[in-house]
Structure 1
Amino acid sequence: MTTTRVGIFGAGYIASVHADILSRDDRVELVGVADMLEANAARLADQIGGAQTGATLEDLFRMDVDTIYVTTPNTTHVAPVVACLNEGLNVFCEKPMATDLAGGERIRKAALASRGVYNLGMNRRYAYTHDKLKALIDAGDLEPYNAQFKLNRGELLQPAWTADPSKTGGFLYETTIHQIDLLQYLFGPIATLRCAARRAISSAEFDDFSMLFTFESGTIATLSSSAHSGWSFPFERVEIYGRYATAATEELERVRYALDLEQVVRTEDYTHIPFAEKGGYAKEDRLFIDALHNGGRPPVDVDEASALNLLLAAIYESAREHREIDFAARVREAIG
């Protein structure tokens, strides 16, 4: 069996999550870790069993890797991803794809021209709670007519960098991107969107959002997200309403659903499941490595990543210009 030789670029917390998962996959060899602070690279290398270390992307290239995980801060994804694709390497990039349209288009063009496989890391798709919602919808047991999504963050300044758009690209790129991604993952293509937003405690960026989406399927959904409201449980929630049916998540811990008026409410509780499994990280890594070995489609390919990048930009545009966006037309124009 061919071994996937992986290098990790960026040695922060999320890199350690992926490294731990990959170290337990016998199809993977963790070859090296690079970080501008080489001490951080050395710390992660020790954690995973003594991989080589470096300070630059070029250091990883010299280690004869075929796949690179890009786990650097949000606004620093484009250049290393493009460089890896230009080298013909496979790339798993943590969210977001980019924090502007130009950056996303650079990655898209590089991915389409590369022999390497591009994948965007969107772990919340594969969280146990959302896997259950997806299974109910795909089986036809729950037809989504209407839905509500919400995310409230405890404090925009904890840690301080989360309030710095030069590092995050904006609050939606840092935190609410997961809920935004779930919209099309669960309900299909978006037809139109409208967003109202305000600066409540931040002078640098919007920190409160209310959004309305219509879908080509006929589903309608709202999403409300606050950057500063507190960690009241459940601070992350999805509610879906169908014909005499409801399903609701409570963070990543539980999902409750009833699929008929006469049916009792069923509860699945995942509090005992390890975080990397429960949160979807383990499944997205397995699916990515599967795609590399089997020649299949990666979990979130460049077209889906591009559509999500367009969607984030359109939401901000709607908030700034106080107007509805025909998002279906925008996707057709940009992606086809």
Structure 2
Amino acid sequence: MDKLKIGVVGAGFIGQVHLEILSTFPDVQIAGVMDVEKGRAKAVAERFNAKVYDDLKQMREAGVDAVYITSPNRTHFDYAMQALELGFNVFCEKPMTVSLKDALELEKKVKEKGVVFQVGHNRRFAYVYKFMKQKIEEGQVKPLSFQIKMNRGELLNPPWTSDRNYTGGFLFESTIHLFDMVRWLLGEIEEMYVLGKKSVYPDIDDWAIAMRLKNGLIGTFTSCAHASWMIPFERVEVYGEHNMLMNEEMEKVHFCKGLGKEVESHDFMKVDFKEKWGYVEENRLFIDCVKEKKAPPVAVSDGVAVIRIIDACYKAVESGNAHVRMEG
């Protein structure tokens, strides 16, 4: 079996999560690791029997087929553009970029190069959200409205999390995943009324958004960065006609089947987070797409769409014009 040679750019926590999964695939060879911290790069490379590289060009010359970009948010665009110019297939962790301008430029480059480019919106493969998607697609719940929240307990650890120059802004952190869930589970956004303020941190850390989707659904979306990790800090509630779906983070999911009827619940607390959070499946699909030269399940266009939503939210608050009509 010819093994696909993989390189990883960024050997921090999420980079190592992907490496741990890839190391279990019999058709993958972890070929190289890059990181600005040379000591960490060396330690991680040794752990996975890989080489340390100084740049992407060296990786390409060594025959690496695809790269994972798991470095800090603001570096994603530059690394992705370099990788595409060199002809790599690319898995780019979220956020794909931290600006809409860069996202559109990256999308153009992906189309020009014709390689596989997958964005790391792992919630699409998480057990709880796949269950909700299935019930909606089967017609067991026909969504009429929704409530979504994605809170964070603090922006203190790691210390750079509250620095918008580093992250692109609070919405580009975990909150971006649930903007993607709006699109994937419920539909495209038509208009929003966006409120945000700085309550504790230098970044805008409180958000309240009313949404109307193109299919007529209405709902609310809130995100707070100083909620002290009160569980559940991630939740999607979808309301049908006297039935509903609800998750408690990526640990539990509930399906209320109707008035006076049972609630079907699934508890994934004991399942390894790499599996239940969707990381294993998204990695397997990326490798298969590269080998088979087919379109990935989370495309560059999906990355652009969610960044367009975030861009609109920041512009609404910063301009004082809360009402937003989405393009397209």
Q: TM-score, normalised by structure 2?
A: 0.96
Structure 1 distance, partners of 2:162, 2:58, is 32
| 1:167 and 2:199 correspond | no
Q: Contact 1:78/1:106 (CA < 8 Å) preserved in 2? A: no
Aligned to 1:140: 139
In the TM superposition, 1:105-120 aligns within 5 A as 105-120=104-119
Out of 234, 237, 240, the position equivalent to 1:239 is: 237
Structure 1 distance, partners of 2:222, 2:174, is 12
Q: Contact 2:6/2:28 (CA < 8 Å) preserved in 1? A: yes
Aligned to 1:149: 148
Q: Contact 2:57/2:86 (CA < 8 Å) preserved in 1? A: no
| C-alpha displacement of 1:195 | 1.0
Q: Contact 2:66/2:88 (CA < 8 Å) preserved in 1? A: yes
Structure 1 distance, partners of 2:214, 2:28, is 40
Aligned to 2:15: 15
| C-alpha displacement of 1:44 | 1.4
**Counterpart code for 1:44:** V
Structure 1 distance, partners of 2:257, 2:291, is 38
Q: Contact 2:11/2:44 (CA < 8 Å) preserved in 1? A: yes
Structure 1 distance, partners of 2:27, 2:211, is 41
Once the two structures are superposed, residues 242-271 of structure 1 have per-residue CA deviations (whole angstroms, 9 ceiling, x without a partner) of 011111101111011112224201110000
Q: For 2:207, what is the secondary structure of its paired residue? A: strand
Unaligned ranges ≥5, structure 2: none
Aligned to 2:324: 325
Q: Contact 1:38/1:54 (CA < 8 Å) preserved in 2? A: no
Out of 209, 218, 222, the position equivalent to 1:211 is: 209
| 1:316 and 2:319 correspond | no
Structure 1 stretch displaced more, 32-41 or 89-98: 32-41
Aligned to 1:296: 294
**Counterpart code for 2:197:** R
| C-alpha displacement of 1:240 | 0.9
Aligned to 2:72: 73
Structure 1 stretch displaced more, 301-310 or 268-277: 301-310
Q: For 1:77, what is the secondary structure of its paired residue? A: helix
| C-alpha displacement of 1:2 | 4.1
Q: Contact 1:194/1:319 (CA < 8 Å) preserved in 2? A: no
Q: Contact 1:7/1:30 (CA < 8 Å) preserved in 2? A: yes
**Counterpart code for 1:200:** S
Once the two structures are superposed, residues 270-323 of structure 1 have per-residue CA deviations (whole angstroms, 9 ceiling, x without a partner) of 001001001111111111112122333212111111111111101111222333
Aligned to 1:189: 188
Structure 1 distance, partners of 2:155, 2:79, is 28
In the TM superposition, 1:210-289 aligns within 5 A as 210-289=208-287
Aligned residues: 327
In the TM superposition, 1:88-99 aligns within 5 A as 88-99=87-98
**Counterpart code for 2:133:** K
| C-alpha displacement of 1:8 | 0.4
In the TM superposition, 1:41-80 aligns within 5 A as 41-48=41-48, 50-80=49-79
Structure 1 distance, partners of 2:128, 2:311, is 27
Q: For 2:142, what is the secondary structure of its paired residue? A: coil
Identity of aligned residues (%): 36
**Counterpart code for 1:184:** R
Q: For 2:26, what is the secondary structure of its paired residue? A: coil
| C-alpha displacement of 1:94 | 0.4
Once the two structures are superposed, residues 109-128 of structure 1 have per-residue CA deviations (whole angstroms, 9 ceiling, x without a partner) of 11011132111101112111
Once the two structures are superposed, residues 95-148 of structure 1 have per-residue CA deviations (whole angstroms, 9 ceiling, x without a partner) of 101111221122111101113211110111211111111111111111111111
Q: Contact 1:89/1:115 (CA < 8 Å) preserved in 2? A: no
Structure 2 distance, partners of 1:283, 1:88, is 24
Q: Note the aligned Cα RMSD (angstroms).
A: 1.3
| C-alpha displacement of 1:47 | 2.2
Q: Contact 1:9/1:72 (CA < 8 Å) preserved in 2? A: yes
Q: TM-score, normalised by structure 1?
A: 0.94
**Counterpart code for 1:71:** T
